[in-house]
Structures are given as structure tokens and as C-alpha cells.
């Protein structure tokens, strides 16, 4: 689901403050992430996607079951 203009502006503001830089976001919808947000800042990546969370859970469960 595409972010609203307010959500984009709020996220830009918070990231700008955190990184002490002027951040401008491009809102691209990628259905493969299943939900959440993936932010790429240069070489840094902030991954808050459902796909990544599920993958981590799967790995943790695999280790417990093995």
C-alpha cells in the first residue's frame, strides 16, 4: 500500500533529524515485501519489512527444531 503524503513527510522529517541530512523519499510499492517499509540511504538499509521479519522467525524456529 502506498504511503500517504503525511506519512512520507513525517518519515522524511524523522530520518532527516536522525541522520542530520536532508532526506527526500521516493515512494515505490513492492508487493513482494508483504508490508512494512524498506529505506535505503546510500549504503545503509533500514529494513522494517514483513518479509524480513518472517524470514528471521523462520531461521530462529529452524534452529530450535533442529
Rounded Cα distance, 51 and 57, in Å: 10
Q: What is the pLDDT of residue 50?
A: 93
What's the pLDDT tens digit per position in 12-64? 999 999 999 999 999 999 988 889 999 988 888 999 999 999 999 999 999 88
This prediction has a pTM of 0.71
Strand partners, 38: 47
Averaged over 2-17, what is the pLDDT? 94
Model pLDDT, residue 41: 86
Cα distance between residue 26 and residue 60, in whole Å:
33
Query: Which pLDDT score is estimated for 7?
Result: 94
Q: Which set of grid coordinates corresponds to residue 51?
A: 518479509
Residue 13 CA to residue 57 CA, distance in Å, equals 31
For the chain, the structural domain boundaries read 5-65
What are the φ and ψ backbone dihedral angles of 19, each rounded to 5 degrees?
Answer: -100, 0
Amino acid at each position: 500500500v502506498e504511503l500517504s503524503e503525511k506519512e512520507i513527510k513525517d518519515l522524511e522529517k524523522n530520518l532527516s533529524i536522525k541522520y542530520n541530512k536532508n532526506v527526500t523519499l521516493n515512494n515505490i510499492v513492492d508487493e513482494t515485501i508483504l508490508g512494512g517499509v524498506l529505506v535505503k540511504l546510500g549504503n545503509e538499509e533500514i529494513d522494517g519489512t514483513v518479509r524480513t521479519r518472517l524470514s528471521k522467525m523462520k531461521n530462529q524456529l529452524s534452529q530450535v527444531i533442529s
